A and B are shown apart, each in its own frame.
Chain A
Amino acid sequence: MTTRTLAAAAVAALVLSACASTDTDSETSGANSSADATFPADTFAIVANADIGVGRSRILFGILEGGGRRLGSPDDGVTVSVAHSDRPDEIQTTEGVFTWIIEDAFGLYRAEFDLDEPGLWRAVITPEVGDRLPPTGFNVVAETAAPAIGEPAPAPQTPTSGTAAFEEITTDNDPDPRFYELSLDEALGNGRKTVVVFSTPAFCQTATCGPLLDIVKGAAPDYPDVDFVHIEVYTNLTDPDFAPIPQNLAPSVLANWWNLPSEPWVFVVDEDGLVKARFEGVMAAEELDAVL
C-alpha cells in the first residue's frame, strides 16, 4: 500500500471515527427540528486547522449546511465542547467566537482549549437555539510542525525591497513598503517585537490570504515600535515559466526553517526572538491587538 493510500485511509478514518456518534451524542445531536433553531437540521461542523499541538491551542471551526452552504455569523452564538476520544467524560466547554474571513460574507468560529494529550479529540458545537451539531474530530500532535508558542522563531535571511523589486518578493498588488524593509534575520535579532506574515495573496485571493495580510497591514500603523515582515510563500515570481508548485516554495517556509504545513500564517515574535502567538489561516484584528 502506498504512502498516499495510507494517508488517505488515515484521514478517512479520522473523519469517520470523529463522526461516529456515541449514545450520548445520538440522544441530542443532529436534529434541529425547532423552527427557530440557529442552524438547519443537516448542519455539520469541520475543523479548519492543519497544525494542532499539545498545549493551549486555538481551534477553528467551520459550520456548513449539508449542501455545502457556509453558516454562522456574530449573531449566531455557539458553545464548543471538546474531549479526548479516550476520555470522553473530561469535557472542556467554552464560547465560540465568530471571525469573519470576508466581512459579512463568511467566516469561522474560534475557541481556545488546553489540549493535554496527543491523539484524536472530539468536538461538539451547540448553538444558542437548537440541538447540538454532530461531533467532529481533530488530531492533536505532540509537536507541531510550525514553531509552537515559546519556541525560538527561526531567523532565515529573506529578500527585502533593498535587494529586489516588489514584484520579485511579493504577490500583494498593493504592498506596504514597511513589510519588506527588513530581512527576517535582521528583524528577529534587533530586540523589537516582530509580526511575521506568511502568505501568497495572488494564489489564494478568493479567501484567506489577501484578507489576512490586509488585516495586518491595517494594524501596522498603530504599532510603530513593532517590525512587520511579509514573506511570500513562493519564489521565482518573475520567472516566465513560474508555477506555484512545491519546487518554487520559499526556503523560509520549508522544513529547515518554519516548516509550515499550510498557509497563510501570522506569528508574533517577542523581543527575545520567541514565538508569542501563532495564527493559522484566519485572524481577527482584535486578536493581533491583544497580543501586541
Chain B
Amino acid sequence: MTLRISIVASIVLLTLIAASCSDDAADTTSPATTVAATTSTPAAPTTLVTTTTQPLATTTAPIPIEETVTGVVIAVEGNLTGIDSFVIRLPDGSDLTLVPTDDLLFDGVGPLSHVRDHLVSGNPIYATFLTSSEGQPIVHAIGDAAGDTHDH
C-alpha cells in the first residue's frame, strides 16, 4: 500500500514536472512571461493567469530601419582624410545631418571627400543610412542621385 501510494505520488509528481516543462517550452518564445497560480475562492478551481511583465527579450532593442534619401549637400564637415559629417537638404525643405561609416566610398569607387564636390556643383546625392542608438543617421552607401537638376 505504501509502495502503491509512493508510485502514484511519483507519477503525479512526474506529471506535474512534465507539465511544468511543457509550460517552460511554450515560454521559450516569450521568456519574460510568468505563470501565476491563483485561487479566487476556496471552492473555485485553480486558474492559471498568464501575465506579461516586460517586453520580449529578443525585441528589447528596436530593429534599425534602413532609409534612403535624396537631396543636395549644403554643408560638409571634414577634410581630405575623412568626412566627419555632412548636411543635405531634402526635397521637403528639411535638413538632415548624416555621419558616414569608416572607409565609405562615394558610389563605391570614389573618395568620400567627393561629397564636397557636390557642395560646389549642386548635383544631388542619395544616401542610405541606419539610425544609431544615439539617433544619429549613419550612412553606409552614398552616390550621385539620378537626374540632372542644373538649370540657369
Do the beta carbons of B121 and A69 come within 8 Å of each other? no
| B103 smallest CB distance to A (angstroms) | 7
Q: Does A123 contact B (CB under 8 A)?
A: no
In angstroms, Cα B119 to Cα A250, docked, is 23
| A142 smallest CB distance to B (angstroms) | 17
Do the beta carbons of B152 and A244 come within 8 Å of each other? no
Do the beta carbons of A62 and B119 come within 8 Å of each other? yes
Do the beta carbons of B151 and A8 come within 8 Å of each other? no
Q: Which residues of B contact A76 (CB under 8 A)?
A: 152
Do the beta carbons of B97 and A262 come within 8 Å of each other? no
Do the beta carbons of B72 and A71 come within 8 Å of each other? no
In angstroms, Cα B152 to Cα A104, docked, is 8
Q: Does A292 contact B (CB under 8 A)?
A: no
Q: Evaluate whether A70 and B151 lie within 8 angstroms (CB atoms) in the complex, with A4-B99, A64-B122 already known.
A: yes
In angstroms, Cα B121 to Cα A107, docked, is 7
Do the beta carbons of B120 and A10 come within 8 Å of each other? no
Q: Does A35 contact B (CB under 8 A)?
A: no
Q: Does B62 contact A (CB under 8 A)?
A: no
Partner of A262, one of B105, B113, B136: B113
Do the beta carbons of A206 and B121 come within 8 Å of each other? yes
| A51 smallest CB distance to B (angstroms) | 9
Do the beta carbons of B87 and A15 come within 8 Å of each other? yes
In angstroms, Cα B88 to Cα A11, docked, is 11
Q: Which residues of B contact A14 (CB under 8 A)?
A: 75
Do the beta carbons of B120 and A145 come within 8 Å of each other? no
Q: Does A291 contact B (CB under 8 A)?
A: no
| B7 smallest CB distance to A (angstroms) | 67
The A102-150 residues at the B interface (CB cut-off 8 A) are 104-108, 145
Q: Interface size (B, Cβ < 8 Å)? A: 45
Q: Which residues of A contact B105 (CB under 8 A)?
A: 243-245
Q: Which residue of B lies closest to A138 (CB)?
A: B75
Do the beta carbons of B85 and A203 come within 8 Å of each other? no
Partner of B121, one of A73, A106, A200, A246: A106
Interface 0/1 of B96-110, CB less than 8 Å to A: 011100010100011
Do the beta carbons of A48 and B89 come within 8 Å of each other? no
| B126 smallest CB distance to A (angstroms) | 12
Q: Evaluate whether A10 and B77 lie within 8 angstroms (CB atoms) in the complex, with A15-B95, A106-B121, A245-B111 already known.
A: yes
Q: Does A20 contact B (CB under 8 A)?
A: no
Q: Does A101 contact B (CB under 8 A)?
A: yes
In angstroms, Cα B113 to Cα A261, docked, is 9
Interface 0/1 of A64-90, CB less than 8 Å to B: 111111111100100000000000000
In angstroms, Cα B76 to Cα A105, docked, is 23
Q: Does B150 contact A (CB under 8 A)?
A: yes
Do the beta carbons of A101 and B89 come within 8 Å of each other? no
Q: Does A25 contact B (CB under 8 A)?
A: no
Do the beta carbons of A50 and B87 come within 8 Å of each other? no
Do the beta carbons of B74 and A203 come within 8 Å of each other? no
Q: Does B55 contact A (CB under 8 A)?
A: no
In angstroms, Cα B152 to Cα A107, docked, is 9
Q: Which residues of A contact B82 (CB under 8 A)?
A: 246
Most chain A Cβ neighbours within 10 Å, of B144, B150, B152 = B152
Q: Which residues of A contact B149 (CB under 8 A)?
A: 67-70
Q: Which residue of A lies closest to B71 (CB)?
A: A68
The A184-221 residues at the B interface (CB cut-off 8 A) are 200, 203-204, 206-209
In angstroms, Cα B121 to Cα A101, docked, is 8
Do the beta carbons of A203 and B111 come within 8 Å of each other? yes
The A1-60 residues at the B interface (CB cut-off 8 A) are 1, 3-5, 7-12, 14-16, 42, 44, 46, 48, 50, 60
In angstroms, Cα B96 to Cα A199, docked, is 29
Interface 0/1 of B43-62, CB less than 8 Å to A: 00000000000000000000
Partner of B75, one of A1, A15, A243: A15
Partner of A249, one of B74, B75, B81, B151: B81
The A131-183 residues at the B interface (CB cut-off 8 A) are 145
Apart from A108-B120, A206-B121, A207-B123, what 6 extra A-B contacts exist at CB < 8 Å? A4-B99, A5-B99, A50-B79, A253-B80, A254-B80, A262-B116
